[in-house]
Chain A
Amino acid sequence: MMPAVLAAVVAQNVFFYLIASIMVYAALRVVTSSNIVHAALYLVVVLAGVAAQFLLLGAEFVGITQVLVYIGAVVVLFLFGIMLTRAKVGSEDNLDHDNRWPAILTAVMLVLVMAYAVIDFAGDSEIAVLDQSETTVQQVSDAIFSTYIVAFEAISVLLLAALIGAIVVARKE
Chain B
Amino acid sequence: MYLVQFLLLSAVLFCIGVYGVLVRRNAVLVLMSIELILNAVNINLVAFGAFNRDVGAAIPGEVFALFIIAVAAAEVGVGLAMVLTIYRNRKSIDLHQVDLLKG
Contact residues of A with B, CB < 8 Å? 9, 12-13, 16, 20, 23-24, 27-28, 30-31, 36, 39-40, 43, 46-47, 50, 53-54, 56-59, 61-62, 65-66, 69-70, 73-74, 77-78, 80-82, 84-86, 94-97, 100, 102-104, 106-108, 110-111, 114-115, 118-119, 122-128, 130, 136, 139-140, 143-144, 148, 151, 155, 158-159, 161-163, 165-167, 169-170, 172
Contacts across chains A and B counted by CB atoms under 8 Å:
247
Nearest to B47 among chain A residues (CB) is A57
Residue tally, chain B, CB below 8 Å to A = 71
Q: When the two chains form their complex, are residues B15 and A81 in contact, meaning their CB atoms are under 8 A apart? A: no
Q: When the two chains form their complex, are residues A114 and B15 in contact, meaning their CB atoms are under 8 A apart? A: yes
What does the 1/0 interface line of B18-44 toward A look like (CB < 8 Å)? 111011111111011101100100110
Q: When the two chains form their complex, are residues B67 and A151 in contact, meaning their CB atoms are under 8 A apart? A: yes
A94 — which chain B residues lie within 8 A by C-beta?
Answer: 25, 94
Q: When the two chains form their complex, are residues B2 and A118 in contact, meaning their CB atoms are under 8 A apart? A: no
Q: When the two chains form their complex, are residues B39 and A47 in contact, meaning their CB atoms are under 8 A apart? A: yes
> Are A85 and B51 CB-contacts (below 8 A) given A50-B42, A127-B1, A127-B3?
no
CB distance from B3 to the nearest CB of A (A): 4
> Are A100 and B47 CB-contacts (below 8 A) given A39-B32, A110-B18, A118-B11?
no
Q: Which of B8, B22, B76, B84 sits near A118, CB closer than 8 Å? A: B8
Q: When the two chains form their complex, are residues B87 and A85 in contact, meaning their CB atoms are under 8 A apart? A: yes
Q: When the two chains form their complex, are residues A158 and B23 in contact, meaning their CB atoms are under 8 A apart? A: no
Q: Could you give 15 example pairs across A and B, Cβ below 8 Å?
A: A16-B5, A20-B5, A31-B17, A59-B58, A66-B69, A70-B72, A74-B73, A107-B18, A110-B14, A114-B11, A126-B2, A127-B6, A143-B63, A169-B82, A170-B81
Question: SS class of chain A's interface: helix, strand, loop or mixed?
Answer: helix
What does the 1/0 interface line of B58-101 toward A look like (CB < 8 Å)? 11111101110111111111101111110110000110000000
Q: Which of B23, B46, B84 sits near A103, CB closer than 8 Å? A: B23
